[in-house]
Chains A and B, each alone.
Chain A
């Protein structure tokens, strides 16, 4: 018998099995390399084409007032202000709501209502941004006769951000050891204070990670902008009225002018124009830098978190 086992162990693996195994290794590694192609290609494109625009000083300080596709210069301040305002309001609205939903799911929810809530959070996380925007439009513009404004974008973004924050917060709350809760209860601390003073502080860093990821996700959303606020080249810091610039909106605005590649210079000569394209890639680079920075922050926070998987 021992011989049988020995031959079993030492018999050379059949050639075809060996080949299959190597083929699988090559395939699996190839998949990874394949996925890296678009990442590297896209990043390289945006950086190389966008660097030119954003290295002008006026990029960070000016807006696009009175600047058409025939003119260079100007900046993205109007778009930056719009995006920051819309995202900030939407974060302020989303975070408390999302944290309460997560608390409900982890600390209180039992039975059918909890299952239904969890199901709806999943549905919400798969909700297309254009549907969220149409819904806000149907409620506030069609039904209540409102005008397009930045605040409506914030409301649509809330629907996209809430599920992200709920899911990460939920994960974090589940990681808080039950012993902590039990200890607090044993001391006679009521449940709500236990959650506020023990559970949430323990999960704090993880929750912030989720919030930052949520911000990164909604900062680049474009569909709600098209439907709910349009785009303005002027600096408009009023969320409550008027068209408003935004970084994705600015990219889209350049796209509509990309076809205009020739124009007349000061002497009346027909020349090739590249201003819209420059601005488009410049804005894309600005947006990508912001989003990547947010992701990096989230990653560092996650590493600092007390609760790690």
Chain B
């Protein structure tokens, strides 16, 4: 059928139903759509983007003339308004992110300018009184190390669960397991916080003492605190990011091409060999991006970390150890929230927030890039 014929094929339908579709013809007819038009689906999809066209080409057949003219114009206006609203909402999200960056920068800048030490390389944090001295080094280290340890703990377990759900468990059990893991994501972070510090942490003191025996590794070097350590925080963070890493890994494992799986079976592979030959290579990029998403969550997690981490005074020698207390960007800001008194002092915390924003932005952007590159393949 040539494209020129096509409108004529379609034309009778709108005019035939023109009185009905004003009311609710669309809904009545919608479920059984393609009976007459199935051979022109290709052309139809092309018309998808500009349905107004359809009425335009439908109009010429003489009988309907004037009546449709008014309808047509109203449609056009409605379409324009609606498309405008939708596009506007989309643009709004872009503007919102830009505004977040701009406002944080604008409010942080005066404080950064008055800062007596270098913001990026100082370990100090004194923002009361006349002189501002604040730097991000300690905050950055605590934030990053807690999140990395959390990620290192969570990813293997998450991959294991994802394999259990997709490759091992029978369908009904898999569903239940998925549901249970999702429940973990539903628990509010403040509850993870109080459970982590008052219930879990006392049980971990022994583990810390045990790891202290391998203190030639800088991470385990100090005895620091018994509870309220970076180690405690990292473990709770690991539990909190487990669901998202699991969900992403599960998604990619489920989409392993069947022919690869069957090829592995045909070679006489055991289940584990099939997973290594087919499932894991296919899912690698997905797992990496899931891990990045988890890392992003861990970096920005606020209240659980605030409740768990013991704060430490200034002036201590820098330590790599995760058996110390400390503060992440988020917990530093949260702990000071009640004392946002003057703009200069607040500005220092907003500067910390800005660094956190940039950090999570980069990590999330990387996670997304990995996924989309994988999809293109």
Contacts and interface: CB of A to CB of B under 8 A. Distances in A.
Given A186-B10, A193-B26, A227 B93 contact: no
Nearest to A188: B14
B27 A198 contact: yes
Contact of B30 (A125, A183, A191, A195): A183
Interface stretch (A57-65, A72-80, A174-182, A233-241): A174-182
Contacts of A291: 186-188
B184 A29 contact: no
A251 B270 contact: no
Contact of B184 (A21, A35, A134): A35
Given A31-B164, A138-B107, A216-B186, A192 B191 contact: no
Nearest to B365: A123
A104 interface: yes
A25 B270 CA distance: 11
B54 A188 contact: yes
Contacts of B271: 21, 24-25
B26 A134 contact: no
B14 A126 contact: no
A89 interface: no
B44 interface: yes
A284 interface: yes
B272 A20 contact: yes
Interface in A109-143: 109-110, 113-114, 116-117, 119-132, 134-135, 137-139, 141-143
A288 interface: yes
Given A131-B300, A190-B78, A35 B242 contact: yes
Given A21-B273, A126-B297, A291-B187, A131 B353 contact: yes
Contacts of A251: 190-191, 194
B356 A130 contact: yes
Interface residues of B, number: 121
B171 to A, nearest CB: 14
B302 A97 contact: no
B199 A180 contact: no
Interface in B1-56: 10, 13-14, 17-18, 21, 24-27, 29-34, 37, 41, 44-45, 47-49, 51-52, 54-55
B33 A190 contact: no
A202 B33 CA distance: 14
Interface in A46-68: 46
A184 interface: yes
Interface stretch (A36-44, A203-211, A265-273): A36-44
B89 A97 contact: yes
Interface string B131-167: 0000000000000000000000000111111011001
B217 interface: no
A222 interface: yes
Contact of B270 (A13, A97, A124): A13
B13 A126 contact: no
Contacts of B317: none
Nearest to A217: B186
Given A13-B270, A17-B273, A20-B272, A28 B164 contact: yes
B89 A194 contact: no
Interface string B275-311: 1000000000000000001001101111100010000
B190 A220 contact: yes
Interface string B320-362: 0000000001100110011010010010011001001100110
A191 B82 contact: yes
B121 interface: no
Contacts of A230: 338
B214 to A, nearest CB: 22
Contact of B188 (A120, A132, A201, A220): A220
Given A190-B51, A190-B75, A192-B79, A109 B90 contact: yes
Contacts of B107: 138, 142-143
Interface-central residue, B32, B194, B340, by most chain A CB under 10 Å? B194
Contact of A28 (B10, B18, B91, B160): B160
B160 A30 contact: yes
B207 interface: no
B104 interface: yes
A188 B160 contact: no
Given A183-B30, A188-B21, A248-B190, A35 B363 contact: no
Given A127-B300, A190-B75, 5 more contacts: A8-B268, A32-B177, A34-B157, A126-B293, A223-B334
Interface of A: 8-9, 13, 17-18, 20-21, 23-25, 27-32, 34-36, 38-39, 41-42, 45-46, 97, 100-101, 103-105, 107-110, 113-114, 116-117, 119-132, 134-135, 137-139, 141-143, 159, 162, 178-198, 201, 216-217, 219-223, 226-227, 230, 248, 251-252, 255, 258, 280-281, 284, 287-288, 291-292, 295, 299
21 contacts: A25-B272, A28-B160, A30-B160, A32-B160, A100-B85, A113-B87, A123-B97, A130-B356, A131-B100, A139-B103, A142-B343, A186-B54, A188-B21, A192-B83, A193-B78, A195-B82, A223-B330, A226-B334, A252-B303, A292-B186, A295-B186
User: What 6 A-B pairs come out closest when comparing CB atoms?
Assistant: A220-B188, A128-B300, A31-B160, A183-B33, A188-B14, A192-B82
